[in-house]
Amino acid sequence: MSGIEVKNVYKIFGARDASQRALELLRGGAGKAEVLEKTRCNVGLNDVSLSIGSGQIFVIMGLSGSGKSTLVRHFNRLIEPTVGDILIDGKDVLKLSDNGLRDLRRYGVSMVFQSFGLLPHQTVLNNAAYALVTRGEKKAAAHTSAREWLGKVGLAGYADHYPDELSGGMRQRVGLARALAANTDVLLMDEAFSALDPLIRTEMQDQLLELQATLKKTIVFITHDLDEALRIGNQIAILRDGRLIQCGTPDDILHRPADDYVRRFVERRAGTTH
Amino acid sequence: MGSPFLHLSIADWVNDQVAAFVQRYGDAFHNFSVLMLRDMLVPLESLLRATPPIVVLAAVGLLGWHASRRVGVALLFVALLWLIGSFGLWDKLMQTFALMMVATLISVVLGVPLGILAASSSTLRRVLLPVLDVMQTLPSFVYLIPVLMLFGLGKVPAILATVVYALPPLIRLTDLGIRHVDAEIVEAARAFGTTRMQLLFGVQLPLARPSIMAGINQTTMMALSMVVIASMIGSRGLGEDVLAGIQTLDVGKGTQAGVAIVILAIVIDRISQGYGQGRRTRGLARKSKQPSRIPFRRVREQESEGTDAAKAGELTGKLNSEPAK
């Protein structure tokens, strides 16, 4: 089982020399708006440090532009940080060679995407088996495993359909089956349920919790919905403009908000009964 | 009042360069020309001309049906080609077709890999695009004179001129198709640890296929449009008749051959377009009567009932199911 360490990660989008200046400004205490004004660089992450324990669902929350999608893509290096360290199970992800990175993506970390990321020219079964076939497993074995996982997410009869014949919720379940079939220790979910309607979303959350009870993966879950975070998270981290505002249990967030920003988040849902 | 222009000329320099080039490399090019003729063009042309027309017509009919899945379209192709034969132009049609096929084949072999490389390298693209611009707009005769000096008159310079003209659309459209593959799908594939080859062959090429097939389609059309110029520098075929028609003011003869060229173009265009879309898209597009935005779908018998059942089952039965189409 793998824990994830994030140590002082900065991510700045812009030209190289401008990024260096932006970095110095950030280290001096400037905020995102000031850096944008002075260097025309967009700050993705600003000195983020986290510790994600293994076997738990860790929710990273924030509004658009807070850096949450940027951060989750650091774990499989779809995005490289400007400075900082990221360790998965004690190994520095940033120092991996190309082969090492490929192995990490094939055997260590799998991902579910907000817009599903399915191959439209392949059947549901081939999509679910994609991770296995990519890493070289025999097709027959891969298909058996894929069918099993499609069954577990409730899509047993749809193996020979194509993604465009399915609804959004079903497509996301294919994405989930694909990620789970890879049998990795770490699962990244980038706003996986944000594109679904409220009923399906609740169903998928239940399904995830049910699967997690047996699988005990390290799940990093990105969302902008506090209700979702409180429902499924063991730990919640709140980001704003690239900075980490608060990190704690759902109880901490609800009853001991670190500042006004978090308090406003909590108060907005005060009307809903839980 | 002096003119603002200097007196510049590159003509002399170009002449010297061409003369030197021809002297030095003339033999090598001649050998290459003989090779191409002997091993590619002449066998293909002989094969096509020797095959009984009925066999060719039947083959075209089958190909047309397989590409479009409609018997009517296939029969139309056969009828149109039969018409060309009835004009007495069958032999010339086969010659033109052989020339065009070789030119298209060379273009595809060169163009698709170059397009793939250009899609992954911005530097290459920046260097390549001006070259393609020149290839498409520089009048053929400008570079044909040196080419004729190197190869002599005949089929090989004709193919060369055709390739130079027909290659750029394929490179551009391949590059475009690959660059416009949905970035999120590429990201998802990378997240599962694909190598570059796996990404290219498993994701990018299949999804860029409509664009690449459009490129091949355009290449064949451009190749056909070069037929008359090709005959001016010595190739045989339908262009000969058009040329003879122009030179002897025999408008009728020229028109007849011109119609034959157009018919050949239409048949090849429809067949290659048929292979451009997957069968699934065609079936769906026909059903929905709307341009399909989805690159790949396959028609199945219970498709409409299946889709409705799937979506109805997904929701908790609160909606009314649509009647099966």
Q: pLDDT (tens digit, 9 = 90+) per residue, A180-227?
A: 999 999 999 999 998 888 888 898 899 899 999 998 999 999 998 888
> How large is the angle between the packed helices B90-120 and B42-50, nearest 10 degrees?
140
From A102, which residue of chain B is nearest by alpha-carbon distance? Answer: B193
The H-assigned helical ranges of chain A are 16-27, 32-39, 68-72, 98-103, 124-128, 130-134, 139-152, 168-181, 198-215, 226-232, 250-255, 260-268
Do the Cβ atoms of A135 and B278 come within 8 Å? no
The predicted model gives B128-152 an average pLDDT of 86
pLDDT at A270: 57
Of the pLDDT bands very low, low, confident and very high (cuts 50, 70, 90), residue B236 is confident
Q: Which residue has the higher pLDDT, B46 or B322?
A: B46
Q: Choose among B294, B314, B316: nearest Cβ to A120.
A: B294
Q: pLDDT (tens digit, 9 = 90+) per residue, A104-155?
A: 999 999 999 998 999 999 999 999 999 999 999 999 999 999 999 999 888 9
In chain B, residues with a C-beta closer than 8 Å to the C-beta of A110 are 191-192
Shortest CA gap A40–chain B (Å): 24
Of the pLDDT bands very low, low, confident and very high (cuts 50, 70, 90), residue B320 is very low
Q: Choose among A117, A135, A178: nearest Cβ to B185.
A: A117
In chain A, residues with a C-beta closer than 8 Å to the C-beta of B296 are 120-121, 162
Q: pLDDT (tens digit, 9 = 90+) per residue, B202-214?
A: 999 999 998 999 9
Shortest CA gap A248–chain B (Å): 28
Of the pLDDT bands very low, low, confident and very high (cuts 50, 70, 90), residue B42 is confident
Cβ within 8 Å of A, B 271-300: 278, 280, 294-298
Q: pLDDT (tens digit, 9 = 90+) per residue, B251-262?
A: 999 999 999 999
Number of Cβ pairs closer than 8 Å across A and B?
Answer: 86
pLDDT at A90: 87
To test the contact with chain A by mutation, choose from B180, B182, B187, B192 the residue with the greatest count of A C-beta atoms within 10 A, namely B192
The predicted complex's ipTM stands at 0.90
DSSP string, B231-273: HHTT--SHHHHHHHHHHTT-HHHHHHHHHHHHHHHHHHHHHHH
pLDDT at B312: 41
Do the Cβ atoms of B184 and A76 come within 8 Å? no
Q: pLDDT (tens digit, 9 = 90+) per residue, B73-114?
A: 899 999 999 999 999 999 999 999 988 888 999 999 999 999
Shortest CA gap A121–chain B (Å): 5
pLDDT at B311: 45
pLDDT at A1: 54
Q: A265 at the B interface (CB within 8 A)?
A: no
Q: pLDDT (tens digit, 9 = 90+) per residue, A14-51?
A: 888 888 999 998 888 888 888 888 888 899 999 999 99
Of A28, A61, A65, A63, whose CA–CA distance to A45 is shortest? A65
* Composition of chain A by helix, strand, coil, percent to 5: 45, 20, 35
Q: What is the pTM of this model?
A: 0.81
Give the residues across from A86 on adjacent strands. Answer: A6
